[in-house]
Amino acid sequence: MTDDRPAAVLFDMDGTLVDSEKLWGIALGDYATYRGGELSEATRAAMVGSNMSTSMRMLLTDLGLGTSDAEVSAAADWVEARSGELFRRGLPWRPGAQEVLTGVRALGVPTALVTSTIRSLAEIALDTLGRDSFDATVCGDEVGGRNKPDPEPYLRATRLLGADPARCIAVEDSPTGVAAAVAAGCTVLAVPCEVPLEPGERRIVRESLEGLDVRALGSLLPGG
């Protein structure tokens, strides 16, 4: 691998590789209806990129319900089951995502999936993404509660790959995920899906992954 290539490319999943945020929205809305309420648009937007337990606390608070550990756990079980049903029907790729993932793999650049989604649901998604598409996977229930925007998910991925974060590209769609990758020291290719993304430190905002030249990814790194 030549020096102008990134050490690794680290992919978020929901809203980045696959258009699963809409399916999450259905599952969350169904739970709200089940509990006799309605999820507000503001709370739904704030959930994007968050892990399951954080999202459940936000959901329960939005519905005016209790947020004890037992309530959060019960809500998570319900939403996990409903999301699993939806995921098994098939996950649509985000525009250009499959081509970028395939292109990066063809270059021989290591890849990791770094998602806030729990392992059981990520395993279903891997039926679409391909289990041989990644050299490592980090899920939301595997980081000891240090979920995005904490840098630990991305740092864990770089440790698994033996890669210097400063030489890694993270591909993200949410402010929460972007913050995590930047805090880990990665350069971020930010492609918004459900919520807007603003330019900032070590990030390149792009409207879509369509037409991206994966051979030029190294140019996004500092000094590239």
CA separation (Å) from 159 to 7, 37, 184, 185, 221?
A: 12, 43, 11, 13, 19
Tell me which of 14, 62, 141, 150 is the catalytic residue: 14
Residues facing residue 114 across a β-bridge: 138
Tell me which of 12, 141, 150, 173 is the catalytic residue: 12
- The DSSP H or E segment spanning 170 is strand 168-172
Is 14 labeled as catalytic in the residue annotation? yes
The pair of structure tokens assigned to 70 is 């037992």
Is 127 labeled as catalytic in the residue annotation? no
Q: What is the distance between the alpha carbons of residues 163 and 69, in angstroms, rounded to a whole number? A: 36
Q: What is the distance between the alpha carbons of residues 217 and 110, in angstroms, rounded to a whole number? A: 13
- The DSSP H or E segment spanning 190 is strand 187-190
Q: What is the distance between the alpha carbons of residues 8 and 158, in angstroms, rounded to a whole number? A: 8
Segments in 2-118 forming alpha helices (H): 21-34, 41-47, 52-62, 69-88, 97-106
Q: Show which residues are catalytic.
A: 12, 14
